[in-house]
Amino acid sequence: MLPVVQASVPAQGSSIFDVAREAGVSRATAARALGGYGSVSEEARRRVEAAAAKLGYSVNSVARSMVTGQTMTLGALIADVSNPFFARVIRGFTDGARSAGYDVVLVNTDETVDSEIHGLKVLTEKRVDGILVAPASEEASEHLASAVDHGQALVQVDRFVPGLDTDVVVVNNYESGYQAVKRVIAIGHTRIAAPLQRTRGHDGHANLISSMLERHQGYRDAMAEAGLTVPSAYTPPAHGRSEVRTAVAGMLNSADRPTAVFGLDDSFTLGIIDAVYGCDLVVPDQVSIFGFDDTEWTTVVRPPLSVIAQPAYDLGTCAAQALLHRIHAPDAPRQTHVLPTTWIERGSIRDLTRTG
């Protein structure tokens, strides 16, 4: 029996050892030829390339990561890809990553701290070079702080934990909400409702999402500034489309019916529309609606919906850039990128200052 140096015919493919043997050179020379470093004779290069093609050689990124210390992979910890907003963020993020040679591992948290902790652990073990996170909770974020302490490159998107020393990419949620409500007040509305994000306490933590809270605070401040009171019935806590629908249906059937309802996000706005249709009210004649985030369907409802549009895709690309910059320069000062929103006037808000 001869000593078997490299036995096994791995199903997955051949290593650079096989290529070198096929080409009749050493491993080092084959690696140089394929890796494009050092100096290799034209003859050797040709033979190595021919051997690689013949064997169907494919570099083993795992082994490469082992020695280079980078995986060329980023992680994304978001609530839910099937939420159109996050889907667009992720698309932007993957595009930004891909253009720099990085790939993206996707983890859904469903706004659950437990899932976020577990996802972060897995991504850390997989040694991703950087992580995008839309934090599930402002309160329970020790795991994120710990990751940052350990030198993990992190970027917070859409919302952020105040004390956390990372790059941040958001839109100006407070200002956007404030300005939108101010506009609506300016055209005569005094009874404006805005269902509030219901905190989820099932895992013992208060899941407060800063983006939603800020939008709502903008609404409250605009109302207060105009000297308008906000009855608590106008800000029922709800979670998800169906809960919002129920909550809004309740206020629409009450004596003190609002003249306008503000949807803090996509699912809220859908729930509001559900409720309005369920109560057989006409938009905008009997009730006005405006929402946050401009998804594909806002132009196919009648009347088309007035919204605060946010650049979800750009949020993702900007996050990718910030993360790649952070990876390249770990000690550069942290930055907070605030992307602009756009108010899109369509036809879902009635101007009460005009008679008729």
153, two tokens: 């490159």
- Report yes or no: 231 and 188 within 8 Å, Cβ to Cβ: no
CB 267 within 8 A of CB 242: no
Contact partner, 95, from a second copy, DNA, none, Cβ < 5-8 Å per class: a second copy
Among 2, 42, 163, 329, binds DNA (CB under 7 A): 42
Whether the ω angle into residue 135 lies within 30 degrees of 0, i.e. cis, is no
CA distance 265 to 307: 10
**Alpha carbon 19 to its chain's center:** 42
For residue 105, the tally of other CB atoms under 10 A from its CB is 16
Least gap, CB of 52 to DNA (angstroms): 10
Nearest approach in angstroms of CB 100 to DNA is 18
Q: Please state at what angle helix 42-55 crosses helix 27-35, rounded to 10 degrees.
A: 90
Please pick, from the candidates 21, 22, 31, 267, the single residue that binds DNA as defined by CB under 7 A: 31
Under the criterion CB under 8 A, does residue 82 sit at the interface with a second copy? yes
The footprint of a second copy on residues 115-134 (CB under 8 A) is: 121-127
State the CB neighbour count (10 A cutoff) for residue 145.
15
Supply φ then ψ for residue 130, to 5 degrees.
-165, 160
Region from 223-231, 254-262, 289-297, 340-348 binding a second copy, contact rule CB under 8 A: 289-297
Indicate whether 36 belongs to the interface with a second copy (CB under 8 A): no
Q: Tell me which residues touch DNA (CB under 7 A).
A: 6-8, 10, 15-17, 25-29, 31-32, 34-35, 37-44, 57, 59-60, 63-64, 66-68
Q: Tell me which residues touch a second copy (CB under 8 A).
A: 10-13, 56, 58-63, 65-66, 69, 71, 73, 80-84, 87-88, 90-91, 94-95, 98, 103-108, 121-127, 146, 150-151, 241, 270, 273-274, 277, 295-297, 299-302, 313, 330
